[in-house]
């Protein structure tokens, strides 16, 4: 796999920092290994990790992909729907979706559980045989997630996501009482220039348009708002970033808010992870519009059982 592109930066920056910020799947240590192996060139010259790049420099990355050694593991999968072509799961919190090249997340991921559940009935995706998970999820988000079991379904699901032919609805509990019952946020979201683990709406890197709609369903303790959210676009951390940007962060979102604010929630309502759940997917399947719902997990259910059934 070869990446070849021209750099757009405001000031000089180390090549390893820039690439680990630009590519969300590349850790800084992984980029440094690529540089050490001579797989990164700047202006057609192989470089070391300390070199700084400037605006309009040309970067070439040559990656020799290797097969991840991911073993099947028996897991309790909350299956919403399954047939020979597709599985829709209600993902549990604190479970990584899949291993990431350059990281050590090779066990207890959704991929490990699916390899065990599906046995040999999975497509081969490029350089690694694994179930085709067509959309990414935060580790602590729960929701209905689609997995293709055939190449044909893989291509179909990828197409409807790309063409925005799928309706995605979320339930979130946020800090603060939102007065506007219906609202729309539209902005550009991209990587934070100083922290590759974060996305931002303020001077983002590689920004893309992001559109989020919400409806206030009710309030809890007169200080938390329960939202039903619809995404028109699907950017990384989109809901979390948009809500934090207007000072209504999702409860226990440690990346975009201070978790100390939520100690009371942990004590009173046993919420100890970000209170975000994707509960509904609607799309055409086998020439028929289908809607799939994933029930709230127990922690969120206990807090808002009388608001969202």
Domain ranges of the chain: 2-62, 79-162, 167-304
pLDDT higher than threshold 90 for residue 275: yes
Q: Domain 79-162's class?
A: alpha beta
Q: Which one has a higher pLDDT value, 151 or 160?
A: 160
Please give the pLDDT value at position 123. Answer: 60
Q: Are 171 and 300 in contact (CB under 8 A)?
A: yes
Q: Distance between CA atoms of 296 and 304, rounded to whole angstroms? A: 9
DSSP state of 92: P
Q: What is the mean pLDDT of residues 80-88?
A: 94
pLDDT higher than threshold 90 for residue 289: yes
Any idea which residue has 């207007």 for tokens? 246
Please give the pLDDT value at position 184. Answer: 94
Contacts of 24 by beta carbon, 8 Å cutoff, 6+ apart: 191, 196, 236
pLDDT digits (tens, 9 = 90+) for 104-156: 556 778 888 888 888 766 665 443 444 567 766 677 788 788 988 887 888 89
Q: Are 214 and 228 in contact (CB under 8 A)?
A: yes
Q: Domain 2-62's class?
A: alpha beta
* Residue 254, φ and ψ in degrees, nearest 5: -70, -20
Average pLDDT across the chain, whole number = 85
pLDDT digits (tens, 9 = 90+) for 3-40: 888 888 888 999 988 888 887 667 777 788 889 889 99
Q: Are 239 and 276 in contact (CB under 8 A)?
A: yes
pLDDT digits (tens, 9 = 90+) for 183-202: 999 999 998 888 877 899 99
Please give the pLDDT value at position 288. Answer: 96
197-205: list long-range contacts, CB under 8 Å, 24+ apart. Answer: 197/255, 198/237, 198/255, 198/256, 199/235, 199/236, 199/237, 199/238, 199/241, 200/241, 201/241, 201/242, 201/245, 205/21, 205/22
For CA atoms 163, 133, 210, 15, the dihedral sign is negative
Q: Distance between CA atoms of 306 and 11, rounded to whole angstroms? A: 53
Q: Do domains 2-62 and 167-304 have the same CATH topology?
A: no
Please give the pLDDT value at position 28. Answer: 76
Q: Distance between CA atoms of 124 and 129, rounded to whole angstroms? A: 4
Please give the pLDDT value at position 106. Answer: 62
What are the Cα distances from residue 52, in Å, to 19, 25, 47, 60, 138? 11, 21, 10, 15, 32
Choice among 16, 57, 138, 253 that is catalytic: 138
Please give the pLDDT value at position 244. Answer: 94
Give domain 167-304's CATH architecture: 2-Layer Sandwich (3.30)
Please give the pLDDT value at position 202. Answer: 92
Q: Could you tell me the two tokens for 63?
A: 């990656």
Please give the pLDDT value at position 127. Answer: 39
Q: How many H-runs (helices) and E-runs (strands) does the chain carry?
A: 7, 19
Q: Are 235 and 153 in contact (CB under 8 A)?
A: no
* Residue 115, φ and ψ in degrees, nearest 5: -60, -40
Catalytic, 16? Answer no
Q: Are 141 and 277 in contact (CB under 8 A)?
A: yes
């Amino acid at each position: 796999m070869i990446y070849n592109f021209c750099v757009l930066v405001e000031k000089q920056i180390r090549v390893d920092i820039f690439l680990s910020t630009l590519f969300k799947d590349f850790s800084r240590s992984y980029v440094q290994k690529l540089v050490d192996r001579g797989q990164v060139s700047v202006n057609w010259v192989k470089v070391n990790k300390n070199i700084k790049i400037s605006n309009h420099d040309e970067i070439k990355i040559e990656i020799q992909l290797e097969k991840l050694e991911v073993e099947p593991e028996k897991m309790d999968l909350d299956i919403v729907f399954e047939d020979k072509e597709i599985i829709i799961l209600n993902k549990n919190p604190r479970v990584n979706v899949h291993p990431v090249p350059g990281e050590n997340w090779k066990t207890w991921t959704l991929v490990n559980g699916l390899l065990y559940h599906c046995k040999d009935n999975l497509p081969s995706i490029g350089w690694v045989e694994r179930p085709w998970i067509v959309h990414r999820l935060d580790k602590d988000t729960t929701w209905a997630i689609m997995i293709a079991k055939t190449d044909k379904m893989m291509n179909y699901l990828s197409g409807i996501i790309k063409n925005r032919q799928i309706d995605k609805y979320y339930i979130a509990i946020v800090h603060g009482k939102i007065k506007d019952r219906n609202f729309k946020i539209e902005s550009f979201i991209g990587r934070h220039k100083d922290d590759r683990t974060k996305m931002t709406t303020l001077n983002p890197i590689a920004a893309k348009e992001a559109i989020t709609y919400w409806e206030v369903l009710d309030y809890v303790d007169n200080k938390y708002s329960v939202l039903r959210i619809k995404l028109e676009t699907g950017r990384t951390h989109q809901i979390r970033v948009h809500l934090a940007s207007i000072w209504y962060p999702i409860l226990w979102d440690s990346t975009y808010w201070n978790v100390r604010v939520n100690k009371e929630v942990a004590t009173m309502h046993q919420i100890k992870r970000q209170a975000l759940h994707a509960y509904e997917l609607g799309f055409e399947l086998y020439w028929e519009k289908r809607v799939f719902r994933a029930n709230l997990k127990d922690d969120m259910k206990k807090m808002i059982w009388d608001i969202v059934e």
